[in-house]
Amino acid sequence: MMTRPDALQWWQRGSIYHVYPRSFQDANGDGIGDLPGITGRLEYCRWLGCDAVWLSPIYPSPMADFGYDVADHTGVDPRFGTLDDFDRLMAEARRLGLRILMDYVPNHTSEQHPWFVASRSSRHDPHRHWYVWRDPAPGGGPPNNWLSVFGGSSWTFDPTTGQYYLHSYLKEQPDLNWRNPEVERAMLDVMRFWLERGVHGFRIDSVSRLVKDAEFRDNPPNPDYRPGQAPYHQQRATYSADRPDLLPILARMRQLADRYADTVLLGEAYLPAARLRAYYGEGRPGLHFPFNFQLIRSPWDAAAVGSLVEQYEAELPAGLWPNWVLGNHDNHRVATRIGRRQARVAAMLLLTLRGTPVLYYGDEIGMVDVAVPADRVRDPWEKNVPGLGLGRDPERSPMQWDAGPHAGFSTAAPWLPVAGDHRQVNVALQREDPRSMLSLVRALLAIRAAHPALFGGRYVPVPSPHPDVMLYRREAENERFLVALNFGGAPREIGLGSPGERGSVVVSTLLDRAGEPVETPLCLRPDEGLLLAVGSG
Ligand code: GLC
Ligand code: CA
Mean per-residue pLDDT for 10-37?
A: 98
CA of 409 to the centre of ligand 2 (A): 10
Q: Would the pLDDT of 499 be above 80?
A: no
DSSP letter for 376, please: G
- Ligand 1, residue 69: give the atom nearest the CA: 12
Residue percentage of the chain with pLDDT more than 70: 98
Quote the pLDDT of residue 498: 67
Q: Is cis: bond before 290, omega within 30 of 0?
A: no
Best residue among 18, 59, 61, 65 to mutate for probing ligand 1's pocket (most ligand atoms within 8 Å of CB) is 65
Mean per-residue pLDDT for 270-282?
A: 93
Mean per-residue pLDDT for 71-98?
A: 98
Q: Would the pLDDT of 537 be above 60?
A: no
CB 328 within 8 A of CB 360: yes
Q: What is the pTM of this model?
A: 0.97
* Ranges assigned E (strand) in 287-355: 289-290, 323-325
**Helical ranges in 316-433 per DSSP H:** 334-338, 340-352, 380-384, 427-432
Q: In what order do the strands lie in the sheet with 501-508?
A: 458-462, 469-476, 479-486, 529-536, 501-508, 517-518
Residue nearest to atom 7 of ligand 1 (CA): 206
Q: What is the CA radius of gyration of the chain?
A: 24
Q: In what order do the strands lie in the sheet with 356-360?
A: 289-290, 264-267, 201-204, 99-104, 52-55, 16-19, 356-360, 323-325
Q: Would the pLDDT of 181 be above 90?
A: yes
Quote the pLDDT of residue 536: 62
Closest CA to 462 of 532, 414, 407: 532
Quote the pLDDT of residue 520: 82
Best residue among 154, 206, 396 to mutate for probing ligand 1's pocket (most ligand atoms within 8 Å of CB) is 206
Phi-psi region of 448 (alpha: psi -120 to 50; beta: other; left: phi over 0): alpha
Q: Tell me which residues have their CB closer than 6 angstroms to ligand 1.
A: 65, 68, 105, 169, 205-206, 268, 329-330
Q: Would the pLDDT of 286 be above 90?
A: yes
Quote the pLDDT of residue 152: 97
Q: How far apart are the C-alpha atoms of 204 and 194, rounded to whole Å?
A: 13
CA of 81 to the centre of ligand 2 (A): 8
* Angle subtended at Cα 391 by Cα 386 and Cα 392, rounded to the nearest 5 degrees: 170
- Cα distances from 490 to residues 58, 431, 469, 497, in angstroms, run 45, 29, 11, 21
6 assigned to active site? no
- Count of C-beta atoms within a 10 Å radius of residue 514: 12
Quote the pLDDT of residue 1: 47
Q: Would the pLDDT of 319 be above 90?
A: no
The amino acid sitting at 412 is A
Q: Would the pLDDT of 282 be above 70?
A: yes
Q: How far apart are the C-alpha atoms of 101 and 17, rounded to whole Å?
A: 10
Q: Would the pLDDT of 231 be above 60?
A: yes
**Largest Cα–Cα distance of the chain, in whole Å?**
79
Q: Please tell me which residue in 65, 268, 379, 395 is annotated as part of the active site.
A: 268
**Helical ranges in 451-519 per DSSP H:** 452-455
- Ligand 1, residue 170: give the atom nearest the CA: 6
Helix (H, G, I), strand (E, B) or coil at 118: helix
Quote the pLDDT of residue 185: 98
Per-range mean pLDDT, top range of 20-29, 266-275, 462-471: 20-29
Q: Would the pLDDT of 189 be above 50?
A: yes
Q: Please tell me which residue in 205, 369, 379, 382 is annotated as part of the active site.
A: 205
Per-residue model confidence as pLDDT tens digits over 340-351: 999 999 999 999
205 assigned to active site? yes
Q: Confidence class of residue 495 from pLDDT cuts 50, 70 and 90?
A: confident
Mean per-residue pLDDT for 396-419?
A: 98
**What domains, with CATH codes, occur in the chain?**
5-111+178-445 (3.20.20.80), 458-536 (2.60.40.1180)
Mean per-residue pLDDT for 61-77?
A: 98
Of the chain, the end-to-end C-alpha distance in Å amounts to: 29
